[in-house]
Amino acid sequence: MKRQDGTRERLHGVVTATPTAFDAGGGLDEGRFRDLVEGYVAAGVHGVSVAGSQGEFYVLDTAERLRLMEITVEAVAGRVPVYAGTGAVSTRESIALTRAAESIGVDVAMVITPYFLAPSGRELAEHFRTVAAATALPVLLYNNPPRTGVNVTPDVYADCARSGNVIGVKDSSGDLSQGVEYLLTEPGGCLLFSGRDTITMALLAHGGAGAISPAACVFPRLMCRMYDAVRADDLATARRINDALAPLRRAWALGSFPVVIKEAMDEVGLDPGPARAPISPLPPERRARLAAVVEEIREFERDAVPAISGA
């Protein structure tokens, strides 16, 4: 498939790694999810990601994944690009999900590496090329070795990028050196999105396209301000915001993935409901520690950000 260069121009900035909303019984809460998406677009994010890792794709059945994509496309209504997680363990299932996402009308397929398996670099590149050849959508390779045990090396990305419509990488490895190497494999061409908030500012400064960000699910406006500051070469402002968000990043360790971000969202009035079992809510003492972190950042956003932005 041919690269879609017109679409590439819209693919940048802060994208929410949107959690999936569940009700108290663990069922999909479509109304609440729709409200979350609308709220993020209204907050000024540059894109919305759905059915990714933070969206608990691994506990969703196929019908639920596709329904989330439908709701997101409807709610966004073309205002920002929709990035949809379409990866699976097998190449066959990844193709089926990607084609379904294309028919729904998403803008980008975000294809995570196969997990549980340990494909070689050659097998991994062939997997991605085969999926990309089956769709007209731009494809982001989704690298998340802490979760999958599989790493997309810069050489594998370069192999995939030479043909088809593989346009870049969402990198959640946390490896800044590797992120820079992605950019160097295709100067001016690799759309690199940070999936790890700890190095988002650094990757942006190196020329990354943006971030598919967990922190943006809690503080979307603050993340957008940081992105704008880096793009304006105002690194002092960007660093102040980045440093203010650091306690939230450290707080992810308070509980099992992905419950902490959901409870942090609840603290700011964006309740997405619980994580699906077997993940359970934070115990009260840890929830109190998380609440203190969130409130500190809210105070920074209320007081410091207008001053440093000139608002």
Residue 124 CA to residue 114 CA, distance in Å, equals: 8
Determine the average pLDDT of the residues in 187-197.
89
Using DSSP, how many helices (H) and how many strands (E) does the chain show?
Answer: 14, 8
The token pair at 91 is 């190449």
What are the b/e assignments for 68-82, b being 16+ CB within 10 Å? Answer: bbbbbbebbeeebbb
Q: Domain locations in the chain?
A: 5-243
Catalytic residue numbers read: 142, 170
pLDDT the model gives residue 9: 82
Report whether CATH 3.20.20.70 matches the domain 5-243: yes
> Does residue 210 surpass a pLDDT of 70?
yes
Determine the average pLDDT of the residues in 114-126.
95
**Residue 212 annotated as part of some ligand binding site:** yes
pLDDT the model gives residue 3: 44
Determine the average pLDDT of the residues in 81-97.
98
What tens digit of pLDDT does each residue of 10-68 get?
999 999 999 999 999 999 999 999 999 999 999 999 999 999 999 999 999 999 999 99
Give the rounded percent of residues in the chain with a pLDDT score beyond 90.
Answer: 91
| CA proximity to 157, closest of 197, 184, 137, 119 | 184
Question: Could you count the other beta carbons within 10 Å of the beta carbon of residue 99?
Answer: 17
Determine the average pLDDT of the residues in 144-171.
93
Q: Among 62-76, 176-190, 274-288, 296-310, where is mean pLDDT lowest? A: 296-310
Question: CA 7, 10, 13 angle in degrees (round to 5)?
Answer: 145
The token pair at 69 is 């994509």
> Does residue 305 surpass a pLDDT of 70?
no
